[in-house]
Chain A
Amino acid sequence: MKRLALSLTCAAILSAVLKPCAACVAVAKSFSPAIAQTPANATLTAVDGIKVGSVTLPGGTTGCTVILVDGEGVPGGVSQRGGAPGTRETDLLSPLNMVDKVNAVVLSGGSAFGLDAATGTSKWLEEHNIGWDVRIAKVPIVPAAILFDLPIGQNAKNHPGADCGYKAVAAATTDPVAMGTIGAGAGATVGKMGGPGTSMKGGLGSAAMRMPDGLVVAAIVAVNAAGDIVDPDTGKVIAGARAADGSFADARTLLRSGALMRRRAATPRAVENTTIGLVATNAKLTKAEVSRMALMADDGYARAIFPSHTMGDGDTVFSLATGRWNGTADVSLIGALAADAMAKALVQAVTQATGLPNIPAVRDLRK
């Protein structure tokens, strides 16, 4: 948040005096952007060619979020490192495989049932004549991933289906992405390493960075991690398992105290998790490069979630490169920025979330 605040100050000074932001650089104590800007729209839709729509089901505790590529499809990739994934059409994203155009990506609650949301998104795309041209038809390419939110609210009997995916893609706009307890993040929770009743609300988060040469890198994520959310700038827990006195138990401490292993020995199931997200850039990347971008963005999970990629997390990151910017940038640097954008999106997801009964959000703790 400190970085965000500093860069906003930076932008304000820029617009006020129209001078280079050297003064900001001098005062920046941490690693706030020296020249890179947080765009006015600091969410995924800051990337030219990307639209986002979310639908939350009645009851407000599950839903889906669709990332729509405007116009023709663009190269996409995926990094799937969690131990309990629920995914669809991820194999075709391998650089070895033929299809190199993605039309939309669906993130959904509802566990495996929620993959049905992609059916609705595909239907909408077909109605709009968008997809991979196989002459007799256009086949919409819609990779998808789900998170496990069935214990929240009445979700066990009420999961996002094709209707959710259809409505979300129809609602997709270039407006700043609505964050918090919404869409795929509506039923998301974090900090589940401390036992029943100690978790906190996760949600949908997004962040974006704009480089002086016009390169934009942005992220969106629905965080539903078993682990705590940690701010990589400070190493401090932002949201996570709570101790009896209301403070953070800190999964890192629980792990070392042996409490985690004792609790898991008693109740070994840990499947009620999964963090799913997407990074996008306006750079032009090959399918192999966009795959590397997804792999590097996954390091944002490692930095902002502890522990991440566990056997109970189906952690997945998609990537898209819209190619609407004509500059050139090294994929290593795009990937490094994507990891940071993803870490910032994770922090946004928990700080923007609103609580549910017995599941407080960060903003509830501040009261």
Chain B
Amino acid sequence: MNVAQGFSPAIAQTPANATLTAVPGIKVGHHTLTERPTGCTVVLIESGATAGVDVRGAAPATRDTDLLSPSKMVEQIFGVALSGGSLFGLATVDGVLRHLEARNIGIVYGNRHIPIVPGASIFDLGVGDASVRPTADCGYRAAQAATDAPVKEGSVGAGAGATLGKISGMARAMKSGVGTAAIAMPDGLIVAALVIANPLGDVIDPATGAIVAGVRNANGRGFADARKIVRAGTPRGRLGDNSTIGVIATNAKLTKAQASYLAQLTDDGYARAIWPIHTMVDGDTVFAIATGSKPGDPDMIAIGALAADVMATAVIRAATQATGLPSLPAVRDLK
């Protein structure tokens, strides 16, 4: 049978800027701490955007996610703060609020502006000195550094302390980081993703089923394969310190309910590119942002399917673009 080999773009384009900032109106900034590998990554939408969220992992660290429910009042957000530092890192949101308020960005309330900035954090306290965490200062600096230039990937910002492949413990884990990807359709639709991949599981290429990065064999050569490890019996002890957090953005005009649904569909990208995912020790979260600069009725089936694919690509890039640390090699170190 003539089985289609791979699924390379036929007409859809990878834009020149193949990162989250390919969506007009979106800026991204990183700040990486010098004391230990951790930091924060801030997404700004200064003119506001419709948004949604999907929290599917069982150990989330999030802030202002409830207001994203379609049944709640607030219709627009102005930024998303992603950080290391576990729940301590949620303080980075405070710095983003300070940055935006000083620029009169946010929901107008009397003569004040209230910037709406949801946030989520990964657990990276096991990488270096756990007392060092991103603070409001980190969020402020990342917001100030935000631009619409192509987003820097790898071991920066919120991904500085990210790791993956932890099902057999940190000694056999690998370094991860920030990944991003974008796709542009001929009709002007743009869908882009940014992710801090810090999963318990391995990163898999859904196009082939092959492991991109994950638990290394005890001899340090090759991958042990989390799928085999789980089948070989129940791993004992602590399952590691995790969470994959990300943002999907589009220039389509979506309702708040559609943005929530888009976040859910994007989570399928996590499912395809990470094994296992959504475990009790992963706080997996996806924020969805719709800037609405492209008019017309959105095709939710196409946007949702593209979103899951772009997110899967971003997860793979988070692994392949990372830089290793001592005893935590990255994909490029294995070559």
> Which residues of A does B touch, CB under 8 Å?
28, 30-36, 81, 83, 209, 211-213, 215, 226, 231-237, 245-253, 255-258, 260-261, 264-265, 270, 292, 295-296, 298-299, 302-303, 306-312, 329-333, 335-337, 339-340, 365-366
Contacts and interface: CB of A to CB of B under 8 A. Distances in A.
B145 interface: no
A235 B239 contact: no
A295 B56 contact: yes
B227 A332 contact: no
Size class of the contact patch on chain B = 35 or more
A281 to B, nearest CB: 13
A309 B268 contact: yes
A18 to B, nearest CB: 19
Contact of B10 (A211, A256, A365): A256
A258 B11 contact: yes
Contacts of B309: 252, 255
B227 A303 contact: no
13 contacts: A83-B261, A209-B231, A213-B234, A237-B4, A270-B301, A302-B272, A306-B305, A308-B268, A310-B304, A332-B58, A332-B276, A337-B230, A339-B276
B221 to A, nearest CB: 16
B1 to A, nearest CB: 6
Given A235-B208, A250-B4, A336-B275, A33 B301 contact: no
Given A211-B233, A330-B239, 19 more contacts: A31-B227, A33-B231, A35-B232, A247-B3, A257-B12, A258-B11, A258-B187, A264-B299, A296-B279, A299-B271, A302-B272, A303-B271, A306-B305, A310-B300, A311-B261, A312-B301, A329-B234, A332-B58, A333-B230
Given A31-B227, A236-B3, A309 B265 contact: yes
A232 B210 CA distance: 9
The 5 lowest CB-CB distance pairs between A and B, nearest first, are A247-B2, A336-B276, A252-B7, A302-B271, A332-B279
Given A247-B2, A292-B58, A302-B308, A307 B301 contact: yes
A77 B231 CA distance: 24
Contacts of A34: 228, 231-232
B279 A335 contact: yes
B57 to A, nearest CB: 10
B309 to A, nearest CB: 7
A308 B265 CA distance: 8
Contact of B277 (A30, A212, A299, A365): A299
Nearest to B223: A31
Contacts of A235: 6, 205-209
Interface in B263-278: 264-265, 267-268, 271-272, 275-278
Nearest to A33: B231
Nearest to A254: B10
Contacts of B302: 255, 260-261, 264
B185 interface: yes
A261 B209 contact: no
B276 A296 contact: yes
B110 interface: no
A30 B264 CA distance: 30
Contacts of B278: 295-296, 299, 335
B186 interface: yes
Interface string B169-189: 000000000000001011100
A310 B305 contact: yes
A296 B11 CA distance: 34
Interface in B11-67: 11-12, 56, 58
Contacts of B280: 292, 330-332
Contacts of A81: 264
Contact of A336 (B183, B230, B232): B230
B306 interface: yes
Nearest to A265: B299
A253 B230 contact: no
A237 B279 CA distance: 27
B187 to A, nearest CB: 7
A148 to B, nearest CB: 15
A255 B306 contact: yes
A28 B227 CA distance: 13
B9 interface: yes
Contacts of A336: 230, 275-276, 279
A339 B305 CA distance: 20
Contact of A261 (B2, B187, B279): B187
A366 B308 CA distance: 31
Contacts of A231: 209
B225 interface: yes
B196 interface: no
B300 to A, nearest CB: 5
A336 B275 CA distance: 8
B259 interface: no
Contacts of A252: 4, 7, 309
B281 interface: yes
Interface centre among B11, B58, B271, B279 (most CB of A within 10 A): B271
Interface centre among A253, A265, A366 (most CB of B within 10 A): A253
B208 A234 contact: yes
Contacts of B261: 83, 311
A232 B202 CA distance: 14
B308 to A, nearest CB: 7
Contacts of A298: 271
A220 to B, nearest CB: 20
B301 A211 contact: no
Contact of A256 (B11, B234, B264, B267): B11
A335 B205 contact: no
Contacts of A83: 261, 300
Given A81-B264, A255-B306, A261-B187, A247 B4 contact: yes
Contacts of A365: 1
Contacts of B304: 307, 309-311
Contacts of B7: 250, 252-253, 256
A311 B254 CA distance: 14
Contacts of A249: 4
A258 B230 CA distance: 40
B299 A258 contact: no
Nearest to B56: A295
Contacts of B209: 30, 231-235
A153 B278 CA distance: 39
